[in-house]
Amino acid sequence: MAKKKGLSFYNRKKRKISPAHVKEIFSWLFGIVAAVFIAVVLNLYFGTATNVVGVSMEPTLYNGQRIYINSFLYMITSPQRGDVVVFLPNGNENTHYYVKRVVAVPGDRVWIREGVLYVNGEESPWVTEKLADAGIAASEFTVQNGEYFCIGDNPGNSEDSRSPNIGPVREEDMLGKVWFHASCEELGMGFVK
């Protein structure tokens, strides 16, 4: 009798999945999951972005400039004098983020006398412009633990720690340190010192 030609599913050899194939599949899956995890962590801690609002940080940062915030840094260390930080004044989530420079850290003595900012009895290198308004720093005081005295680089046009409604900034109200900025207007980019 002649054999019928056509499709036959019975004579087909079964393919075996080798351990090497299984290992390669899991290797690919692990790589994809690890890459997604790393991307999410990097975006959360290093890729948080906002725009500068106002002219209080000129000439360092300009109104409308896009800035990127390192939120991870202050989980392992504390803000330092000279850091440009982003915070919500008094933790108020109904306002925009403020961007200012830390000029005094916990334990520092702050005093504005005759338009000059003194930190621990010495002129601050971060504020070189005469300060018309001393605000709460008209008399010397000590910055408390967990608080930072922050002023804009353009102090004549800055609402900052001198203002009684803001005062020293609590560390828990800080979103993080500005580490990178880009300006659509200038089409330039740079790192913040």
Six token digits for residue 35: 């890459």
Choose among 105, 117, 110, 188: nearest CA to 153.
117
The question of whether 56 is a catalytic residue gets the answer: yes
Task: Name the pTM for this structure.
Answer: 0.72
The question of whether 130 is a catalytic residue gets the answer: no
Of residues 5, 14, 18, 56, which has the active-site annotation? Answer: 56
Q: Where are the alpha helices (DSSP H) in the chain?
A: 19-46, 73-76
| Spatial separation of the C-alpha atoms in residues 168 and 102, rounded to whole Å | 10
- For residue range 123-176, list pLDDT tens digits in order: 999 888 899 999 999 999 999 999 999 999 999 999 999 999 999 999 999 989
Enumerate residues 6+ apart whose C-beta is below 8 A from 151. Answer: 100, 101, 103, 117, 126, 127, 158, 160, 161, 162
- For residue range 75-112, list pLDDT tens digits in order: 889 999 999 999 998 877 778 889 999 999 999 999 99
Six token digits for residue 163: 């203002």
Of residues 100, 124, 158, 161, which has the active-site annotation? Answer: 100
Q: Are 134 and 123 in contact (CB under 8 A)?
A: no
| Spatial separation of the C-alpha atoms in residues 70 and 38, rounded to whole Å | 15
